[in-house]
Amino acid sequence: MRLAFYTYSYTDRLKMPIAECHPYIAKSGYTSIDVSGTYGPSEDPASFTDELRNETRMSSETDALRVEAIITHADLTGSLQNPERKPLELIGSTDLAAAVGGDVVTFHMGGPRKDIAPEKLWSLVVEHLQQACDDAMKRHVRIAVDGIWPEWINDTPDALERLFKDVDRMNMGVNFDPCYLTLIDVDPAEFAHRFHDRIWHAHLKDHKGKYPKWTHHIPGEGEMDYVKVFMALKEIRFNDAVAVECFTDMPFKEACDTGFAAMQKAAKSAGTEFESRE
């Protein structure tokens, strides 16, 4: 298993230089990174310019940081057949993944629409994901819906199961997010075992509270039981990447160091370990 750090809050939202962030991430002990699928307020993957793609790839190679996942931000359902928005460009995001060396693209599903009947919207989502997965397969990239959420059309594990069945593509999976599962009273260990063959990636956040009222914290400083999470990942023989995810109100160096130390300690307590930089 590899431990990554998600850079979006810092290199994108806080505009911190890549040349400062990547070396510190490596110094903290991480072996890889997640990057945003866009840059700035744009929902278009083209906003992640060729210059930025080259800088990201060259910097990650210099600092021996593997690029793991490309994280998109626009909701899929809200963008489909919406004259005021472009559709979520997962195909453009898989092109970005190939350009910077990543092999997973995640997306947020989104909720129901008042102007589209539920079954029609579901069909549109399935068709869009089938096309995206077919293109991604050619680039050796996997597509992962970013978990489940009460306000989305994939609001339960059963709905997620239906999504996989209807899309019917082997490179369609899920981004495992134990923090958000815990917030909505879904056991992360049970979820991991149920979808063991569809978990392509994981995001590690922390929190205090419950849905719909909670606060985020640096991983290791909230209520999450990450020992239990890593025990489940060990049991399903998960060997891909898990990424520490922090937010703009969390100081960069503290987020890197505290997150790494806490996740390393939890993994060790669970009887597993991360790949070393050595």
Does residue 274 lie in a domain region? Answer: no
- Write down the pLDDT at residue 25: 98
Per-residue burial over 72-109, b if 16 or more Cβ lie within 10 Å, else e, is bbbbbbbbbeeeeeebbbbbbbbbbbbbbbbbbbbbbb
- Write down the pLDDT at residue 84: 86
Task: Kindly tell me if the per-residue pLDDT of 173 is higher than 80.
Answer: yes
Mean per-residue pLDDT for 236-252? 98
Which of the 8 DSSP states describes residue 140?
A: T
Q: Burial level of 264, CB count in 10 A (0-12/13-18/19+)? A: middle
Tokens of 122: 């579901």
Does residue 276 lie in a domain region? Answer: no
Mean per-residue pLDDT for 42-57? 94
Does residue 275 lie in a domain region? Answer: no
Find the radius of gyration of the CA atoms of the chain. 18
Task: Kindly tell me if the per-residue pLDDT of 87 is higher than 90.
Answer: no
- Write down the pLDDT at residue 85: 87
* CA–CA dist 41, 81 (Å, integer): 21
The domain total for the chain is 1
| Residues counted in the chain | 278
Q: Find the CATH number of the domain harbouring 237.
A: 3.20.20.150
Does residue 152 lie in a domain region? Answer: yes
Q: Which amino acid is at 205?
A: K
Does residue 278 lie in a domain region? Answer: no
* CA–CA dist 226, 179 (Å, integer): 9
**Residues paired with residue 113 on neighbouring β-strands, in sequence order:** 116
**Residues paired with residue 173 on neighbouring β-strands, in sequence order:** 144
* CA–CA dist 201, 68 (Å, integer): 8
Q: Which domain, by its residues, includes 189?
A: 2-269
The model's pTM is 0.96
128's enclosing H/E stretch is: helix 118-138
Q: Which of 147, 202, 217 is nearest to 32 (CA)?
A: 202
* CA–CA dist 1, 263 (Å, integer): 12
- Write down the pLDDT at residue 180: 98
Mean per-residue pLDDT for 161-167? 98
Does residue 277 lie in a domain region? Answer: no
Does residue 200 lie in a domain region? Answer: yes
Tokens of 161: 């199961």
180-210 tens-digit pLDDT: 999 999 999 999 999 999 999 999 999 999 9
Mean per-residue pLDDT for 58-87? 94
| Average pLDDT across the chain, whole number | 97
Confidence of residue 277 (pLDDT cuts 50, 70, 90): confident
102-149 tens-digit pLDDT: 999 999 999 999 999 999 999 999 999 999 999 999 999 999 999 999
Does residue 206 lie in a domain region? Answer: yes
